[in-house]
Amino acid sequence: MTTLETPPAYERLVELLREKKILNSCGALLGWDEQTYMPPGGGEHRANQLALLAGLTHERATTPELGDLLEQLKEIEATADPLSVMAVNIRDARRDYERATQLPRKLVEEMTREISLAQQKWVEARRQADFSLFRKSLENIIRLKREEAKILSREGDCLYDALLDEYEPGMKAEQVQALFDPLREGVIQLLQQITDSPVEPKTEILKRSYPTSRQHEIGQAAAAQIGFDFQRGRLDTTAHPFCSDIGPGDVRLTTRYFENFFNSGFFGILHEAGHGIYEQGLNADQFGLAMGDSVSLGIHESQSLLWENFVGRSRPFWTHFFPKVQGLYPESLGDVTLDDFYTAINDVRPSYIRVEADELTYNLHIMLRFELEQKLISGELEAADVPEIWNSRFTEYLGITPENDAQGCLQDIHWSAGLLGYFPTYALGKMYSAQFFKAAQTAIPDLTDQISNGEFRELKTWLNENIHARGKLYQARDLVKVVTGNELSEKPLLEALGAKYGEIYGF
């Protein structure tokens, strides 16, 4: 009988974690509003609101009561089934508490100040395309991140592991490298075959006139059709698309539209809707706890990429959607065939800017950043040498050389924001998504037909049951193994890309 009772310490822990998450979600809502509807004059007051909330959240995250409760729950955590709801929630709460309390206040404050300065320097350096203006800031950030990593790293880990662990819990740099090495080789080989192909996608099709109100209409309809629930979510417009989970029953998507470029709005919506479907599929009863939370950034990205690329850039998807889009834009698409449209949205060519890169070359952009980050953190590379090594590796991988630092090592906000260890999660997401989609195809034998008919319910339910509803029960690699029956591998991604581009480019 006693084993069925919930210990009071656990109940109190749940209460505290929920309050922390609610505070957090207030900040998320203010952040969403800042990016969407806040008038420019509200900026300063908003910063004050967010700073106060951040302080309150930090207080909640580090309150000694949490430490006491976790101490009391040690025994239960150690003896319970490690995959039981209680054990998972306690383990994750301990991990968060340790991360939040281990870093000295002085270091956190210094980091906050340095990031704020570095962002200003980065904006200016990028504007002038001159890395030397940002060099000192990057040096400071690397120094502070190394300090942070030294404090957080566990025995046997390299410093970079401690940083990666924040975004992709449990993943090690060595494991990522072992996946990236063959992935890079495979991607470069495919890129060579595409470059050699005489097929030239008619990308001009996508740059015709696409009035944005209709882009919103078709994008919103597509998001609803793949399974994003608009009773529990919204879609609005911003400068930089994102998905924000406010809480159970409220998930906000944003996108941006360009009248003369169709892809940005439509695929941006599918991408964010994929994130949103994950959030809507989380277990609301476990709100604020690990069992009601997403696994990692990489797994989150796998859900957006699965819908954006494996569904949204597939031929069956456009068999269903192309006539609808054509009907909305008869002047721009009246003379275009499904085949030309499908080929154009899957155009591959080397380019300088990561966020504008195609599905294939994107991987190379990520690997380059991952390699440089590791060297910066290990001390093997000095900040001053970043532009040179960036440009030479970029040329080696993509066959083109950035003309300046704005086109090269200054393009991303991440390093100036102290986000080191974040980049690899994008490419991990690609590998997870390929492996999940392959498993879904096996589980749903007529999936291709369903997608051609505009039916997505079975796929969405499969994702809900196999991934979303599990919360943080498993870390990313274990989840992949449990869901797909195989260890995480670069092969499903390379196979899928090879099959798709082989058909399009004729090799």
Pick the stretch among 63-71, 116-124, 304-312, 336-344 that binds Co ion (CB under 5 A): 304-312
Q: How far is the CB of 427 from Co ion (least distance, A)?
A: 12
Residue 175 carries which DSSP code? Answer: H
Give the span between the Cα atoms of 86 and 466, in whole angstroms.
Answer: 20
Give the span between the Cα atoms of 298 and 254, in whole angstroms.
Answer: 20
Q: How far is the CB of 297 from Co ion (least distance, A)?
A: 9
Which of 304, 363, 425, 435 touches Co ion (CB under 5 A)?
A: 304
Please give the span between the terminal C-alpha atoms of the chain, in angstroms, as a whole number: 66
Query: What are 170's two structure tokens?
Result: 């449990």
Q: How far is the CB of 226 from Co ion (least distance, A)?
A: 15
Q: Left if phi > 0, otherwise alpha if psi is -120 to 50, otherwise beta: which for 226? A: alpha
Nearer to Co ion, 92 or 272 (CB): 272
Give the span between the Cα atoms of 253 and 243, in whole angstroms.
Answer: 5
Pick the stretch among 195-203, 229-237, 298-306, 314-322 that binds Co ion (CB under 5 A): 298-306
Q: How far is the CB of 419 from Co ion (least distance, A)?
A: 14
Pick the stretch among 101-109, 156-164, 260-268, 299-307 that binds Co ion (CB under 5 A): 299-307
Q: How far is the CB of 422 from Co ion (least distance, A)?
A: 12
Q: How far is the CB of 405 from Co ion (least distance, A)?
A: 26
Q: How far is the CB of 444 from Co ion (least distance, A)?
A: 24
Distance of CA 247 to the CA centre of its chain: 19
Nearest-CB residue for Co ion = 304
Nearer to Co ion, 278 or 352 (CB): 278
Residue 467's nearest CA partner among 447, 490, 484, 492 is: 484
Pick the stretch among 180-188, 218-226, 302-310, 315-323 that binds Co ion (CB under 5 A): 302-310
326: enclosing H helix or E strand: helix 315-328
Nearer to Co ion, 140 or 303 (CB): 303
Nearer to Co ion, 296 or 304 (CB): 304
| HEC profile of 380-440 | CCCHHHHHHHHHHHHHHHHCCCCCCCCCCCCCCCCHHHCCCCCCHHHHHHHHHHHHHHHHH
Is 272 in the active site?
Answer: yes
Give the span between the Cα atoms of 241 and 95, in whole angstroms.
Answer: 30
Pick the stretch among 231-239, 303-311, 355-363, 480-488 that binds Co ion (CB under 5 A): 303-311
Residue 433 phi/psi, 5-degree rounding, is -65, -40
Nearer to Co ion, 222 or 406 (CB): 222
Q: Tell me the β-bridge partners of 251.
A: 233, 245
* Cβ-contact 36, 236 below 8 angstroms: yes
Q: How far is the CB of 123 from Co ion (least distance, A)?
A: 23
Nearer to Co ion, 304 or 416 (CB): 304
For residue 244, state whether it binds Co ion (rule: CB under 5 A): no
Give the span between the Cα atoms of 491 and 435, in whole angstroms.
Answer: 8
Pick the stretch among 115-123, 160-168, 300-308, 443-451 that binds Co ion (CB under 5 A): 300-308
Give the span between the Cα atoms of 348 and 327, in whole angstroms.
Answer: 27
Nearer to Co ion, 97 or 267 (CB): 267
Q: Residues for the chain: how many in total?
A: 507
Pick the stretch among 41-49, 69-77, 296-304, 357-365 that binds Co ion (CB under 5 A): 296-304
Angle at 392 (CA atoms; ends 387, 393), nearest 5 degrees = 100
Nearer to Co ion, 346 or 425 (CB): 425
Q: Using DSSP, how many helices (H) and how many strands (E) does the chain show?
A: 22, 3
Contacts of 18 (CB under 8 A, 6+ apart): 287, 288, 289
Q: Which of 272, 359, 371, 373 is catalytic?
A: 272
Total residues at interface with Co ion (CB under 5 A): 1
Nearer to Co ion, 304 or 435 (CB): 304
Residue 209: Cβ-neighbour burial (10 angstroms; 0-12, 13-18, 19+)? exposed
Residues 443-502 interacting with Co ion (rule: CB under 5 A): none
Residue 258 carries which DSSP code? Answer: B
Q: How far is the CB of 55 from Co ion (least distance, A)?
A: 29
Residues 260-279 interacting with Co ion (rule: CB under 5 A): none
CB atoms within 10 A of CB 365: 25
- Give the residue numbers marked as catalytic: 272
Residue ranges binding Co ion (CB under 5 A): 304
